[in-house]
Structure 1
Amino acid sequence: MAIRNRRALLAGASSAAALLALLLLLPPPGGHVEGRTLSLGWTLPLVGLLGSIAILPLAGPHFWHHHHGKVAAFWALVLLVPFAIVEGPAEVAGEVVHAAALEYVPFVILLFSLFTVSGGLLVRGALKGSPEVNVALLAIGALLASVIGTTGASMVLIRPLIRANVDRRRNVHIVVFFIFIVSNVGGSLTPLGDPPLFLGFLQGVTFFWTTTHLWRETALVLGLLLGIFYLLDRWFYSREERPRMIDPTPAAPLGLEGLQNLPLLAGVVGAILMSGIWDPGINVDLYGAHVPLQAVLRDVILVVLALISLKITPWPLRERNGFDWEPIREVAKLFAAIFVTLIPALLILKAGPDGPAAPLIALVSNHAGAPAPAAYFWATGLLSAVLDNAPTYLVFFNLAGGDAGLLMSERADTLAAISAGAVFMGALTYIGNAPNFMVLAIARNRGLAMPSFFGYMAWSCGILLPCFALVTWLFFV
């Protein structure tokens, strides 16, 4: 295991060195790629990548398991090669470095830290997956999501939930609702809950603004989802015939092992808060990308905390917890390509009414030109389901005025709609929010026959869209 870890670190260091060498060979960026002049055709590699993620795990599971990284790299190159030829290699390299330094690297480091630290926490004992226990775990996860983030809550609770239901013949719906509730909707009350809200916090939205302005919408959606889940789980549970396999958690007092990781988890939360509160006004210039010093310090702290967790947590405890590196490797590879192929789409959106997305921009305003909260809710949400929800939130935040003081007061309904859309509708697809794919990878790694990309969307659209329609009618019209 130690040899594999050293190989992984060596591979990561080699990739970083190769990227830095490539940047040294390129001239400094003379400017940025202009989104107003881009064609919508540049988004086709993103469509191809999303189609591969949707189809290949179902059509060729063996091929996908062994070659998903190559597929992701293929679509990234399909974009980057012609994009660099048309727009200029220095300019495109600048956009890639900007996306990597400000979005992808912090994203992966946060996931790595939470995945590693939470993987050292083991809930032991006779936890049996009855409908009542499952609802309680989902409710606890929803509360934790706004305290330690949707990623942290998901990583802490998904393994105990899977173990508790390992003898259930029908248990896939439990993971699907876990993604709805814990990995998404539960994180809507604080900036710690979900990356879009953290970006709003960095833009000046006060820490408890979403708590006071989204608690009704959140309570309604969580109440509906927990109620629907209980009825569905009760129905499946009543039709269980016999255990599918022996429960690996024999009768024992319920408890928590790996308590040394709790201070480390608190340290992760503290590092995130520090990067949003402390601003020394110092930036690190990396090939045109201005990385704030506090962000660099945050990422260093997160990596150190993860390494400490690996050092102080016995590996047998992680093995009993079903800990494996494959989920984080898969997410890191696929989201590297997603962040790259997202670049043209986000540039087009940022161009606003002057770019190819002008018809979409017109849809979010009423006849008087003022923001329409219902339209912002659905536009932000639906795009968050297929793009990364954090930059999508930021695009619509700026489109609605970009002034936190204005949005928190006169346009509070619009900011609430943007916030709720980005967080709630991240649950519509596997790629809408980072924890979704992490939970999917862990569930598949534990042997659960999770729905395909479109199979999951059948669940999410059938259950979530009516809930969101009700939210729209009650709060945003």
Structure 2
Amino acid sequence: MTISRWLTAAALCMLPGLACAADIDGSRLSMLWGVPFAGILLSIALVPLLAPIFWHHHFGKVAAAWGLAFLVPFALVFGPGVAGASFVHALLAEYIPFVILLTALFAVSGGIYIRGNLHGSPGLNTAILAIGAVLASFMGTTGASMLLIRPLIRANDNRKHVAHVVVFFIFIVSNAGGSLTPLGDPPLFLGFLKGVDFFWTVAHIFQETLFLVGVLLVLFYALDSWYYRRNKEVTTQDPTPDTRDAREIGFDGKVNFALLGVVVALVLLSGFWKSPVVFSIVGTEVGLPGIVRDAGLVLVTLASLWLTPKTVHADNQFGWGPMQEVAKLFAGIFLTIIPVIAMLKAGVNGPFGAIVAAVTRPDGSPDPAMYFWATGALSSFLDNAPTYLVFFNTAGGDPAVLMTTLAPTLAAISAGAVFMGANTYIGNAPNLMVKAIAEDRGVRMPSFFGYMLWSFGILVPLFVVMTFIWFK
């Protein structure tokens, strides 16, 4: 979710136990247990549109209400022990590491100010999106998004139409760009932890990524040029030039680049380091590498806030509002998704058995095209990391086989999870953060369904073309 997306330098992906909430037999669950999850998704989609003032002041309470709407009945039906274990697992194995990582990336990237003559021409905007696409695979979609969204918005602050710039930014930087390494997006890091080689993805979906990012950049340049040249895009009176903006392009808060490197190192360390030291908390195993990673990320966050000059935060208009919104909404999402993931894990015996069965051909072999669309469709509305794991296991779960004999299937799963996280605001964690930052800067972003008109009109046709070229 891929609002999940919940995610990424590797967002969520560094969580080895991501989809394994307490032992819940998904085959015994009714589809009704998915109502709270559907409710929070619909709330995110509709309430800001129908009651924006209420949502602005009470979105945290709405998320909490849906979380309780699942947890309380679940405790009554299955017992407080199972409910408590599921809650603790979601908290310790998923939510807390997720929020700690995003907070570290948010703080570090917010401490870097890109100064200079930044004026949003189509060429400059396209260049920023292209740079972000490259950075996303090395510093994660979250890190690249948080680093570049602020200067991109600032560069276009004298233009009438900016929403399309942010929408394409989400398409390219917050999603598609993170498809080449396990550092880029949570699903790929989970695959890395399962045994997929670090460079396998770049070797097997590079062409798909190049096609998607390349076409999107061309489309964006054409659309942005039309707005810029034919629609009287630039305001008649440009803002009074800022003397700081007149300087040569450069960076303030450079210490945060080193801290960003520490974040990447901590994420990688948690994947490579195998330690026998494990603590069991209400049935949830918390390993020493994860503890070290999370503690290190907290220290990185505090170091960034301490070492970054106040002028840099002021220039960046840095504030905690977007991070608070993501933290509160994803708390509800992580909780209400517990039964949904359990039902998916039940495979053909669960309520979603038809979806799982649809990815297999009559002869029993996997169908890459169906894996691409099934993984992608669920990643658009669920966390793309556990969705990746579900179909990874559905395809056999043996990395040696998936990387060789079933390489087209693993490529389809990887591409679907990463690429289609861009279909909705909740498909991947950076999507919602970018939206919140843009709105905080006065950009009038599309509604939940308005954004889907963009994604379904632009992305889905490209996914269809990719299916016939690479996943048939």
Q: Report TM bin, short chain.
A: over 0.9
- How far residue 242 of structure 1 moved from its aligned partner, in angstroms, is 4.3
SS at match of 1:285: strand
* Selected match of 1:359 from 354, 360, 363: 354
Query: Superposed, which structure 2 residues align to 1:59-78 within 5 Å?
Result: 59-78=50-69
Asked if residue 135 in structure 1 is aligned to residue 135 in structure 2, the reply is no
CA contact (8 A) 1:142 1:187 kept: yes
Q: Which residue of 2 aligns with 1:293?
A: 288
One-letter amino acid of the structure 2 residue matched with residue 392 of structure 1: T
* Selected match of 1:345 from 340, 347, 350: 340
- How far residue 241 of structure 1 moved from its aligned partner, in angstroms, is 5.1
CA distance in 1, matches of 2:196, 2:143: 22
Q: Which residue of 2 aligns with 1:148?
A: 139
CA distance in 2, matches of 1:193, 1:403: 22
One-letter amino acid of the structure 1 residue matched with residue 363 of structure 2: A
- How far residue 50 of structure 1 moved from its aligned partner, in angstroms, is 0.5
> TM-score, length-normalised on structure 1?
0.92
CA contact (8 A) 1:49 1:72 kept: yes
Asked if residue 466 in structure 1 is aligned to residue 461 in structure 2, the reply is yes
- For each residue in 1:405-441, what CA deviation from the matched residue of structure 2 results, as whole angstroms up to 9, or x when unmatched? 1110111000000000000000000000010001001
Using the aligned pairs only, state the percent identity: 57
- For each residue in 1:1-28, what CA deviation from the matched residue of structure 2 results, as whole angstroms up to 9, or x when unmatched? xxxxxxxxxxxxxxxxxxxxxxxxxxxx
SS at match of 2:417: helix
SS at match of 2:280: strand
Asked if residue 57 in structure 1 is aligned to residue 48 in structure 2, the reply is yes
* Selected match of 1:423 from 396, 418, 423: 418
Residues 236/242 of structure 1: CA separation in 2 closer, same or farther (3 Å cut): closer
CA distance in 2, matches of 1:242, 1:300: 46
Residues 172/245 of structure 1: CA separation in 2 closer, same or farther (3 Å cut): farther
SS at match of 2:120: coil
Query: Superposed, which structure 2 residues align to 1:259-338 within 5 Å?
Result: 259-338=254-333
- For each residue in 1:122-172, what CA deviation from the matched residue of structure 2 results, as whole angstroms up to 9, or x when unmatched? 000111110000010000000000000000000000000000001010111
Asked if residue 90 in structure 1 is aligned to residue 81 in structure 2, the reply is yes
What value does the CA root-mean-square deviation take over the aligned residues?
1.1
* Selected match of 1:411 from 400, 406, 409: 406
Query: Superposed, which structure 2 residues align to 1:223-234 within 5 Å?
Result: 223-234=214-225
One-letter amino acid of the structure 2 residue matched with residue 309 of structure 1: S
Residues 206/446 of structure 1: CA separation in 2 closer, same or farther (3 Å cut): same
* Selected match of 1:80 from 71, 76, 79: 71
Query: Superposed, which structure 2 residues align to 1:189-200 within 5 Å?
Result: 189-200=180-191
SS at match of 2:279: strand
Larger relative contact order (C-alpha < 8 A, sep ≥ 6)? 2
- For each residue in 1:286-343, what CA deviation from the matched residue of structure 2 results, as whole angstroms up to 9, or x when unmatched? 1101122111111111110010000111222101111110000010000000000100
One-letter amino acid of the structure 2 residue matched with residue 354 of structure 1: N
- How far residue 62 of structure 1 moved from its aligned partner, in angstroms, is 1.0
One-letter amino acid of the structure 2 residue matched with residue 461 of structure 1: F
CA contact (8 A) 2:85 2:283 kept: yes
CA contact (8 A) 2:161 2:233 kept: no
Asked if residue 165 in structure 1 is aligned to residue 160 in structure 2, the reply is no
CA distance in 1, matches of 2:153, 2:51: 25
SS at match of 1:211: helix
* Selected match of 2:178 from 163, 187, 190: 187
CA contact (8 A) 1:130 1:237 kept: yes
- How far residue 353 of structure 1 moved from its aligned partner, in angstroms, is 1.3
- How far residue 32 of structure 1 moved from its aligned partner, in angstroms, is 2.4
- How far residue 34 of structure 1 moved from its aligned partner, in angstroms, is 1.4
One-letter amino acid of the structure 2 residue matched with residue 127 of structure 1: L
* Selected match of 1:116 from 107, 113, 122: 107
Q: Which residue of 2 aligns with 1:392?
A: 387
SS at match of 2:335: helix
CA distance in 2, matches of 1:310, 1:111: 15
Q: Which residue of 1 aligns with 2:7?
A: none
- Bigger CA drift: 241-250 or 254-263? 241-250
- Bigger CA drift: 182-191 or 78-87? 78-87
| Structure 1 unaligned spans of 5+ | 1-30
One-letter amino acid of the structure 2 residue matched with residue 381 of structure 1: G
- How far residue 389 of structure 1 moved from its aligned partner, in angstroms, is 0.5
CA contact (8 A) 1:166 1:245 kept: no
SS at match of 1:427: helix
CA distance in 2, matches of 1:327, 1:101: 22
Q: Which residue of 1 aligns with 2:232?
A: 240
One-letter amino acid of the structure 1 residue matched with residue 222 of structure 2: L
- For each residue in 1:191-231, what CA deviation from the matched residue of structure 2 results, as whole angstroms up to 9, or x when unmatched? 00000100111100010000100100000001110010000
SS at match of 2:159: coil
- How far residue 33 of structure 1 moved from its aligned partner, in angstroms, is 2.3
SS at match of 2:275: coil
CA distance in 1, matches of 2:429, 2:279: 26
One-letter amino acid of the structure 2 residue matched with residue 263 of structure 1: A
> TM-score, length-normalised on structure 2?
0.93
One-letter amino acid of the structure 2 residue matched with residue 240 of structure 1: K
One-letter amino acid of the structure 2 residue matched with residue 62 of structure 1: I
CA contact (8 A) 2:141 2:185 kept: yes
CA contact (8 A) 2:227 2:233 kept: no
One-letter amino acid of the structure 2 residue matched with residue 179 of structure 1: I
SS at match of 1:250: helix
SS at match of 1:386: coil
- How far residue 447 of structure 1 moved from its aligned partner, in angstroms, is 0.7
CA contact (8 A) 1:33 1:92 kept: no
